[in-house]
Amino acid sequence: MKFLALGDTDGIGASCHFLDLNGTGLVLDAGTDPQRDGPNSLPRFDWVQDRADSYVDHAIVTHAHHDHMGSLPVLVRRFPHAMAHMTDATKKLLDFLLPASARLQKKRHEKGETSHDPLFTEDELEALHHLYLTHDLGRDFDLTGPKGAAPVTGQFYSAGHILGSAGVELHFEEWGRERRLFYTSDTNMQAQTIIPGGEYPETTDTLILETTQGAEPEAEATSRPEERERFRKTLARVLTQGGTALIPVFVMGRAQEMLVLLGQLKREGAIPRSVPIYTAGSMRAIAEVYDETRDTTPRVDSSEEVFAVNQERVPYEAEAKREILDGPGIMVVSSGMMLEPTLSNVLARRIVENEKDAVLLVGHPAEGTPARRLKDAAAEGPGAPVMLADGHGPQPVNCTVERFRFSGHSDRRDLLSIVDRLDPETVLLVHGDPEARAWMAEHIEEAHPETDVHRPDWGSVVEV
Ligand SMILES: [Zn+2]
Ligand SMILES: [Zn+2]
């Protein structure tokens, strides 16, 4: 088996891993790099032919985050015979998110915010639609390529990460032996508010493991109930003093989880029912997909609906924004990293100097992002300066800034327990910072000296 990372493996780049299984060419995920723009955000599809001397027959899309699916339309255009495989919920989300991405790229190009042409158009997406096949969890599906020397089958396991997310198990034959490979993709063993913990096979030969939380010692020291309690207390305090709580979120996944949690806190009387919750944009359409699939996808409680939680729209006009920022209120808006020029960045600049307000970070603030700069400035003490956007500030951080671990990813001890359980001969570590992958490699090698641990570099072929 040949493995070739087509996206940057040092960090959360474009997830895209090529496999050659005895003549069958597979791609696991086809993401775009959120920190890059235009063609630079794409995986190096050209390397499939150039470096691996192969072709892509099938693509597997594990979930609807852009770093895992944003380049799928480019992939299927580039390899016209390729079919794409995903769960039904992921397809429903792609049907909404990919056209939204096409419109956004067009708008940015027209406004001169980027010099790059859009990677794909809405019309093109419609023409590609029939290439996307869906499969139930736990059912075999065929992935054998036309030049495959032996059959390859796939099977999805719920990954516990976001709606529709799946890990994939591959069965294939090599040198006359039955082989198994499991790709965790982004995975979470523990239940969240909406999505229950992930499921995994009993055993495997080769494990491709995500490592997002590999350098996060605090994650394993906290539990979800503790974090929920801390979140409840901080939020109640901010609202009692009449403040605004800004919760920057990813529109896909984290937003819906937070809304249902806020609904629960209102029902429990932990925060006043009358406090308005403001949301914006595509988050609402995604909530609809969450709600319409609540009986057909894994749920903690299928009676919970995102839209049962009362939401108001963040107004467009500056004056109206000023009024609602008087508080008390809760803003659940994107982007999670507070990137420019998203709403969370705009609103954060408005509240960061106010002592009674708060920014509650509920994801992992990546290095180099405004969310990370805010967290680091707040850690220096009250009034420390922060630059949230070019040409604005520095501003003193007077508001409360707290980070909560509501991650959609397993902590590193849980990731190690996946290795313990599956007991693979070979582990390929992907989707994490260099320190994260190093920590994981060290601990796997210590516990399983007989296991081959690889940290594949972007672009180099690994023979397994
Ligand atoms: Zn993800
Ligand atoms: Zn990811």
pLDDT of residue 160: 98
Dist. CA 460 → ligand 2 center (Å): 21
Dist. CA 161 → ligand 1 center (Å): 7
- CATH code of the domain in which 317 resides: 3.40.50.10890
Q: Which residues contact 351 (CB under 8 A, 6 or more apart)?
A: 244, 246, 325, 357, 359, 399
Determine the average pLDDT of the residues in 63-88: 96
Dist. CA 241 → ligand 2 center (Å): 37
Which of 351, 380, 403 is the last residue in one of the domains?
Answer: 403
CA distances from residue 365 to 250, 283, 375, 402, 440 in whole angstroms, order as listed:
11, 20, 8, 11, 20
Dist. CA 138 → ligand 2 center (Å): 22
Which of 352, 379, 403 is the last residue in one of the domains?
Answer: 403
pLDDT of residue 135: 98
- CATH code of the domain in which 204 resides: 3.60.15.10
Cβ-contact 72, 85 below 8 angstroms: no
Dist. CA 276 → ligand 2 center (Å): 31
pLDDT exceeds cutoff 80 at 260: yes
Q: Which residues contact 267 (CB under 8 A, 6 or more apart)?
A: none
Cβ-contact 139, 173 below 8 angstroms: no
**In this structure, which ligand is nearest to the CA of 159?**
1
- The two three-digit tokens of residue 303, written as one number: 């009676």
**In this structure, which ligand is nearest to the CA of 408?**
1
Determine the average pLDDT of the residues in 246-251: 95
Dist. CA 125 → ligand 1 center (Å): 22
Do 260 and 122 have their domain in common? no
**In this structure, which ligand is nearest to the CA of 162?**
1
pLDDT exceeds cutoff 80 at 12: no
Dist. CA 186 → ligand 1 center (Å): 5
Dist. CA 269 → ligand 1 center (Å): 32
Percent of the chain whose pLDDT exceeds 90? 88
Residue 285, domain extent: 223-403
Dist. CA 219 → ligand 2 center (Å): 17
**In this structure, which ligand is nearest to the CA of 32?**
2
Dist. CA 398 → ligand 1 center (Å): 32
- The pLDDT-based confidence of 124 (bands split at 50, 70, 90) is very high
Do 29 and 144 have their domain in common? yes
Do 297 and 349 have their domain in common? yes
Dist. CA 415 → ligand 1 center (Å): 15
Dist. CA 231 → ligand 2 center (Å): 24
Reported pTM: 0.94
Do 7 and 71 have their domain in common? yes
**In this structure, which ligand is nearest to the CA of 33?**
2
How far apart CA 183 and CA 179 sit, in angstroms, is 14
Choice among 5-14, 94-103, 215-224, 395-404 with the minimum mean pLDDT: 5-14
Do 163 and 240 have their domain in common? no
How far apart CA 65 and CA 69 sit, in angstroms, is 6
pLDDT exceeds cutoff 80 at 272: yes
**In this structure, which ligand is nearest to the CA of 432?**
2
pLDDT of residue 341: 87
> pLDDT tens digits, residue range 317-338?
988 888 899 989 999 999 999 9
Do 181 and 301 have their domain in common? no
Do 25 and 62 have their domain in common? yes
pLDDT exceeds cutoff 90 at 175: no
Which of 386, 403, 420 is the last residue in one of the domains?
Answer: 403
How far apart CA 28 and CA 18 sit, in angstroms, is 6
Average pLDDT, the chain: 95
pLDDT of residue 284: 85
**In this structure, which ligand is nearest to the CA of 63?**
1
Do 123 and 244 have their domain in common? no
Dist. CA 184 → ligand 1 center (Å): 11
**Domain count along the chain:** 2
**In this structure, which ligand is nearest to the CA of 90?**
1
pLDDT exceeds cutoff 90 at 32: yes
Dist. CA 70 → ligand 2 center (Å): 11
Determine the average pLDDT of the residues in 357-371: 92
Dist. CA 415 → ligand 2 center (Å): 15
pLDDT exceeds cutoff 80 at 296: yes
pLDDT exceeds cutoff 80 at 418: yes
pLDDT exceeds cutoff 90 at 34: no
pLDDT of residue 129: 83
Dist. CA 212 → ligand 1 center (Å): 10
Cβ-contact 15, 67 below 8 angstroms: yes
Do 33 and 182 have their domain in common? yes
pLDDT of residue 318: 87
Do 80 and 203 have their domain in common? yes
Dist. CA 31 → ligand 2 center (Å): 9
pLDDT of residue 199: 98
pLDDT of residue 195: 98
Do 21 and 136 have their domain in common? yes
Do 228 and 253 have their domain in common? yes
Dist. CA 12 → ligand 2 center (Å): 6
pLDDT of residue 298: 98
Three-class HEC string of the chain: CEEEECCCCECCCCCCEEEEECCEEEEECCCCCCCCCHHHHCCCCHHHHHCCCCCCCEEECCCCCHHHHCCHHHHHHHCCCCEEEECHHHHHHHHHHHHHHHHHHHHHHHCCCCCCCCCCCHHHHHHHHHHEEECCECCEEECCCCCCCCCCEEEEEECCCCCCCEEEEEEEEECCEEEEEEECCCCCCCCCCCCCCCCCCCCCCEEEEECCCCCCHHHHHCCHHHHHHHHHHHHHHHHHCCCEEEEECCCCCHHHHHHHHHHHHHHCCCCCCCCCEEECCCHHHHHHHHHHCCCCCCCCCCCCCHHHCCCEECCCCHHHHHHHHCCCEEEEECCCCCCCCCHHHHHHHHHCCCCCCEEEECCCCCCCCHHHHHHHHHHHCCCCEECCECCECCEECCCEEEECCCCCCCCHHHHHHHHHHHCCCEEEEECECHHHHHHHHHHHHHHCCCCEEECCCECCEEEC
